[in-house]
Amino acid sequence: MLRPLLNERVVRMEEVKTGTLYLVATPIGNLEDITYRALKTLKEVDLIAAEDTRHSLKLLNHFEIKKPLISYFEHNKTKRGEEIIKHLLEGKNIALITDAGTPGISDPGEDLVRLAIENNINVTVIPGCTASVTALVLSGLPIRRFAFEGFLPHDKNERKKYLELLIDEGRTMVFYISPHNCLDVLKEMKEILGDRKGTLCRELTKKYEEVIRGTLSEIIESLKSGNRMKGEMVLVIEGAPKKDDCEKEDWLSVSLDEHMNFYLSQGYDKKEAMKLVAKDRGITKREVYAQYMRKT
């Protein structure tokens, strides 16, 4: 009597086994950038959820992948997300792809991942292209620490408030920018954040890939000189300078004599004043002594 009951229990456990949600990165421009593992996964899953089915169908047809395809995007994510979770709970394996790059970055994929985790569904990533990291590496700016900011708010007032929150952000920042408001955003950044160094990347990995480096002013002038407002762009800009650097620049704008006189007038003796001046200007006390004594 025990054997049939055990067998029945095993069958029931298998019946409730969930499928896996695969987050599959797709090329951001050049189709040759797709990985073997991504192709294998797309061919083996039961269903593919795509941000834009018409766009993704071109990719799938190019690699002769014939699988059921459904849409999953910002405006249907609530209803369609529930449908996808239902399929996963029934044991189906589903791949989520975006128009380009890695799902979940600046798209509703993050909502589906959260929903899957809440339902104890296995989630895994098939890594590949990401426009933000590609642009970051190309920028030539410091990338040991960086902040991904994605798309800024569409509303101008909201965008201004958001940028004001980033004034003191010291890390290199990465933004996604749409072509229709690119110049406006760059001008607002220059006004609020200052004329910082940056790199604007467009048509990444494609035939006409372009990387524009310079200050925000220089990038703006470069865009004005040609018709380049096509396709989404990635902007990488340097973070805020360290406060110590700002103070150093302020002190370097005055002469060493004026700097010394400032501390002498505060009651410091020459030796202590030289020590403070050296620290402020980022030089040695011996250099301060040599320059100051040469003039006295």
∠ CA 137-129-176 to the nearest 5 degrees? 65
State pLDDT tens for residues 99-141.
999 999 989 999 999 999 999 999 999 999 999 999 999 999 9
CB-based burial of residue 179 (10 Å sphere; 0-12 exposed, 13-18 middle, 19+ buried)? middle
Of 83 and 231, the structure prediction assigns the larger pLDDT to: 83
pLDDT value of position 4: 40
State pLDDT tens for residues 69-87.
999 999 999 999 999 999 9
Of 95 and 247, the structure prediction assigns the larger pLDDT to: 95
CB-based burial of residue 16 (10 Å sphere; 0-12 exposed, 13-18 middle, 19+ buried)? exposed
pLDDT value of position 226: 67
In the predicted structure, residue 13 carries a pLDDT above the cut 60: no
